[in-house]
Structure 1
Amino acid sequence: MNKQSAMSAKTRIWTPINYAAEGKQSDCLRLPHSTDLSAYGWIPIPLVCIKNGSGPTALLIAGNHGDEYEGQVALSSLARATQAHEVSGRLIIIPALNYPAVEAGRRVSPLDEGNLNRVFPGAALGTPTQMIAHYVSEVLIPMADLVVDLHSGGRSLDYIASALVRPGRTAQEHQRLLGLLKLFGAPISFISDGTGGGGLTTLAAAAEARGALALTTELGGGATLSQNGLELALSGLRRVLSDLGILRGISVEPAPPTRLMTVSGYDAFVYARERGIFEPAAKVGDEVTKGQLAARIHFPDDPTREPQTLYFGSSGIVACRRVPSLTQRGDCLFKLMADVGPRLDHSQALHA
């Protein structure tokens, strides 16, 4: 079987949940995984489906990376709190999508070292991580009008609380995505095509390719749980779901203004050039200018050697910064964002 036919083959993942059934269902996806001690075994991926009548479908995902916790807690809280009579349409909630990575507290899966947000659209007959991506791409996203993928910085990055979208493929789609950003109400909202990250291999790119609106977040980092990030996830989701009419009869706080920014090109990134100890010269949220000192890399194995100095290649705001001090050549140390317009509030979003 060639690669293309493997990608398009029928999924091997199954679930007892009936996505078309009315009411609230809680079970799991079954990811087949054969091991020495479990020949016909499967791995559970927790899933909640809440459906009530006709209306749009929202696919809400966290745990795409296992060491990012705000989204996992937010979606679990939402799944517990939401009853079928409060929904018009359908909510599909997956708080721990890459469950093997979630269980291990790792960015990537311990089963195959797969980075789930770098293998979309996946493969039906591939590795466990590829099978998860394929199921999301070919089964779940086609049901969805909106896809929200909640991320944080994980072990390696500290991130400013933010929401992001890919550039829309048409002017109309782009305006709808900007409206989502302003409605979600993160302090910072940015537009990125994935340069320096996942590009076309992310869940958001898979959603875009299948015609669903996709919103991603960065809610904290350092593999800790940010209370501010958790609160933003919950309040932002409630606003978006209420605006779509999926959640009804709930009170939501108006969205605060968001600063609209963009990440453009490799000059927005600073990378380590050698192995050593990373000494940052800027913090997350700092405004920096092109040519400004970004970092020094120290070499304790050669104490008489001068530290290597690194400089920002463009001006902007520090979106994220590396957390571990020990760094290798090629590690991302900083990512910058630049303004694309003034701060906009929710009332302006309604006319976007």
Structure 2
Amino acid sequence: MANDTRIWTDVDFDRDGKQISCLRLPFSSDRSAYGTIPIPIVCIRNGKGPTALLVAGNHGDEYEGQVALGKLARQLDARELCGRIIILPALNYPAVDAGRRLSPLDQGNLNRMFPGDANGSSTEMIAHYVSKVLLPLADIVIDLHSGGTSLFYLPCCLIRTGKTETETAQLIELMAVFGAPIGSVSDGSGGGGATTLSATAQVLGIPALTTELGGGAAMSSKGEALARDGVLRVLKHMGILPDAIVRPAEPTRSMRVDGRQAFTYAPVRGVFEPAVELGDEVHAGDLAGIIHPIAGPSEPITAIRFEQSGLVACQRAPALTEPGDCLFKLVVDMPLPPSPSR
């Protein structure tokens, strides 16, 4: 299965026990003609059972998931499992090492490059290995994200609508088990579309949960705790960690992005002064904020207004803003289909 990928590892995914190693990403440079970049990986297995693929560091400047999975990888013992857990706490390791959203090797945005290319750029090779080697092993994927350098996010768990109503209901149930305060359901038309890890998992019929846990290139302790507790709840729910002691999930408010007008963009360059905060309920026409021209009082200020009503789910972090920068994203409540377990 792995013969058509250029990344390799000494991990035996079918071996019981706990293996801590790396994926070897080939990278030839002036200082290392036959060099490789090690991407941390942990495989923990105990007999037959479901497999969970746990990912963080898809974007390098999103830290809560990286810390949560690092803790989990250190703490778990194979004897606690019924099945297998594969942990990648720093999937796009070059970006993680640089503290950037994009890889410094090729400026690649990993979560816009799935399913990847075995003979493409470094970032495309990572996406290809995940798509062709790791995803086929998985029964569930949890991809932990945060707002990174440019955004602040309300803690939330995200899913894509399934191919059938039953599949969507199962994903909504898993989202509730994870237990984020906000559950966001997407039709896949925004963000990276078909080029994300979750979209590729969906094509393969693998349930996928994504998160947003904080932002501003900071490390939120609350976001990290949600990542850790949410992952443990899902692993227990699936029978992979049957005896795990977990905190009960808080109720999840299921919401969705209601079209392109849910996003508010900057029309001009300047210093953005927001008029609302994360978690605020706003209405169409409300003042979103003001952009102050950096040229000073000789230029007019620009007032920005929301085009629709909703809950402020994310907000731009840096004050200095360019035309086209996303300032806010809104979500609205959605009705839920009946749970498949009822």
Scaled to the shorter chain, the TM-score interval is: over 0.9
Contact 2:166/2:340 (CA < 8 Å) preserved in 1? no
Contact 1:195/1:264 (CA < 8 Å) preserved in 2? no
Farther-moved stretch of structure 1 (248-257 vs 45-54): 248-257
Paired residue for 1:284? 278
Query: What's the CA shift string for 1:302-351, capped at 9, x where partnerless?
Result: 52222111111111100100000001111100000000038x9xxx9673
Paired residue for 1:245? 239
Paired residue for 1:327? 321
Contact 1:148/1:215 (CA < 8 Å) preserved in 2? yes
| Structure 1 residue 210 corresponds to structure 2 residue 204 | yes
Contact 1:9/1:125 (CA < 8 Å) preserved in 2? no
| Structure 1 residue 144 corresponds to structure 2 residue 134 | no
Farther-moved stretch of structure 1 (204-213 vs 245-254): 245-254
Paired residue for 2:86? 92
* RMSD across aligned positions (CA): 1.6
Paired residue for 2:100? 106
Query: What's the CA shift string for 1:157-181, capped at 9, x where partnerless?
Result: 0000110101111111101100011
Aligned partner of residue 91 in structure 1, secondary structure = strand
The correspondence of residues 159-308 of structure 1 with structure 2, limited to 5 A, is 159-308=153-302
Contact 1:165/1:214 (CA < 8 Å) preserved in 2? yes
The structure 2 residue matched to 1:153, chosen from 136, 147, 151, is 147
Per-residue deviation, 1:203: 0.6
Per-residue deviation, 1:228: 0.6
Per-residue deviation, 1:248: 2.3
Paired residue for 2:21? 27
User: Structure 2: which 5+ runs fail to align?
Assistant: none
Per-residue deviation, 1:105: 0.4
Aligned partner of residue 69 in structure 2, secondary structure = helix
Paired residue type of 2:279: G
Aligned partner of residue 8 in structure 2, secondary structure = coil
Paired residue for 2:12? 18
Query: What's the CA shift string for 1:198-230, capped at 9, x where partnerless?
Result: 111111001101110000000000011111101
Aligned counterparts of 2:207 and 2:316: Cα–Cα separation in 1: 30
Paired residue for 1:316? 310
With over 3 angstroms needed to count, the CA separation of the structure-2 counterparts of 1:350 and 1:237, relative to structure 1, is: farther
The structure 2 residue matched to 1:121, chosen from 115, 120, 124, is 115
User: Structure 1: which 5+ runs fail to align?
Assistant: 1-7
Aligned partner of residue 53 in structure 2, secondary structure = strand
Paired residue type of 2:158: L
The structure 2 residue matched to 1:50, chosen from 44, 49, 52, is 44
Aligned counterparts of 1:261 and 1:240: Cα–Cα separation in 2: 20
Query: TM-score normalized by structure 2?
Result: 0.97
Query: What's the CA shift string for 1:174-202, capped at 9, x where partnerless?
Result: 01100011000101111113444111111
Aligned partner of residue 126 in structure 2, secondary structure = helix
Aligned counterparts of 1:83 and 1:349: Cα–Cα separation in 2: 33
How many aligned residue pairs are there?
341
Query: TM-score normalized by structure 1?
Result: 0.94
Per-residue deviation, 1:265: 1.2
Aligned partner of residue 67 in structure 1, secondary structure = coil
Paired residue type of 1:298: H
Aligned counterparts of 1:294 and 1:209: Cα–Cα separation in 2: 37
Query: What's the CA shift string for 1:39-98, capped at 9, x where partnerless?
Result: 000001000000111111000000000000000000011111111111111100000000
Aligned counterparts of 1:194 and 1:328: Cα–Cα separation in 2: 26
Q: Percent identity?
A: 58
Aligned partner of residue 238 in structure 1, secondary structure = helix
